[in-house]
C-alpha cells in the first residue's frame, strides 16, 4: 500500500512538473520551423497525410490564401 502511494505521488509530481513551463522551452532548436504569421490572420489549418505520414501543414487566411506552409 505504501509503495502504491509513493509511486502515485511520484507520477503526480512528474505530471505537474511537465505541465509547468521551463526555461528550456524558450531555447528550442533553431532548426524547428516557427509560425511567423500573426495568429489573428490564420482562419484555417490544412494538413496532408500519406500512409500515416505527415506531408504538409498549411495555414490559410479567411479567403483560402496560403499564409505559410511547412513540409
- The string of pLDDT tens digits covering residues 29-48 is 777 777 788 888 888 888 89
Helices and strands counted in the chain (H then E): 1, 3
SS3 at position 5: helix
| Distances 41 to 3, 10, 51, 61, 65 between C-alpha atoms, Å | 52, 42, 31, 6, 11
Residues 13 and 6: their CA atoms lie apart, in Å, by: 11
What total of structural domains would you count in the chain? Answer: 1
pTM surpassing 0.85? no
Per residue in 3-20, pLDDT (tens digit) is 666 565 655 555 555 545
Domain ranges, residue 18: 2-70
Amino acid at each position: 500500500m505504501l509503495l502504491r502511494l509513493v509511486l502515485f505521488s511520484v507520477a503526480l509530481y512528474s505530471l505537474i512538473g511537465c505541465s509547468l513551463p521551463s526555461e528550456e522551452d524558450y531555447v528550442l532548436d533553431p532548426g524547428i520551423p516557427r509560425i511567423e504569421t500573426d495568429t489573428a490572420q490564420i482562419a484555417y489549418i490544412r494538413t496532408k497525410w500519406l500512409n500515416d505520414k505527415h506531408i504538409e501543414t498549411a495555414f490559410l487566411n479567411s479567403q483560402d490564401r496560403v499564409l505559410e506552409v511547412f513540409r
